[in-house]
Amino acid sequence: MSLTLDDLWSLESYARQRPEFRARVMAHKKQRTVHVGKHLTLLFEDRLTIQYQIQEMLRIEKIFEPESIREELASYVSLIPDGDNWKATLLIEYSEVTERKRMLTRLKGIERALWLQVEGFEPVFPVADEDMERETAEKTSAVHFLRYTLSPSQREAVRSGAALTVGVNHPEYPVIRFVLEESVRHSLSSDITA
């Protein structure tokens, strides 16, 4: 389910509702955040997380003109899952600047090496950065947008409660593989409707 202009609050209305809405979104995000080792975080987006992102951008930038709001919507709505996929923001996180620069050079391609596996099926590797290229010849970006598309059989298995495993295969990052917690699996299964 997408977002439209009618789904958003005005700046004044959002200011009143923001504390409660923000608390709800932060609790929701905890069930949709997966740490893959110390330096990779996947935030699985959905309608609520994207609405929050847009509302915050409108608030910070003090955007209130309908055409400018539509532009913000257009920038973000493609991150809402389509019913047959998961969409995630990948954050590559190194707190020390020098180490971050060095690792962004070494981790080229990591955005395509993070896989998800539905129990009983082969791993699904993502399509990365469909909106624009975020990797150069020298380095990768610290932020990527990923789409994991599932087959009809995988979707049925997810809806039936199949376990979900996440992993990464990259020569410059430790091999990691683990089963997602049930609360995260349950939250992600709600995205699969097709």
What CATH number is associated with residue 152? 2.60.40
Are residues 21 and 40 located together in one domain of the fold? no
The structure tokens 């923000």 sit at 22
Are residues 15 and 68 located together in one domain of the fold? yes
Are residues 121 and 188 located together in one domain of the fold? yes
Nearest to 112 by CA among 69, 150, 167: 167
Are residues 74 and 124 located together in one domain of the fold? no
For residue 34, the model assigns a pLDDT of: 97
The total number of structural domains that make up the chain: 2
Write phi, then psi, for 78 (nearest 5 degrees): -70, -10
Query: Over the stretch 159-191, which tens digit does the pLDDT of each residue have?
Result: 999 999 999 999 999 889 999 999 999 999 999
Are residues 53 and 126 located together in one domain of the fold? no
Q: Show the CA angle centred on residue 60, arms to residues 57 and 62, nearest 5°.
A: 95
- 75 confidence band (pLDDT: 50, 70, 90): confident
Are residues 85 and 164 located together in one domain of the fold? yes
Domain coverage including residue 11 = 1-30+47-80
| Contact of 9 with 50, CB cutoff 8 Å | no
For residue 38, the model assigns a pLDDT of: 94
For residue 45, the model assigns a pLDDT of: 97
Task: Tell me the pLDDT of the chain averaged across its residues.
Answer: 94
Mean pLDDT value across residues 30-55? 96
Are residues 62 and 134 located together in one domain of the fold? no
Are residues 182 and 159 located together in one domain of the fold? yes
Write phi, then psi, for 31 (nearest 5 degrees): -85, 0
Q: What is the DSSP letter of 117?
A: E
Are residues 19 and 113 located together in one domain of the fold? no
The pTM of this model reads: 0.91
Are residues 105 and 9 located together in one domain of the fold? no
Nearest to 124 by CA among 82, 169, 181, 189: 169
For residue 1, the model assigns a pLDDT of: 62
Are residues 153 and 88 located together in one domain of the fold? yes
Query: Over the stretch 96-141, which tens digit does the pLDDT of each residue have?
Result: 999 999 999 999 999 999 999 999 999 999 999 877 677 778 899 9
Are residues 87 and 41 located together in one domain of the fold? yes
Q: Find the distance separating the first CA and the last CA of the chain, reported in whole Å.
A: 12
The structure tokens 């920038």 sit at 75
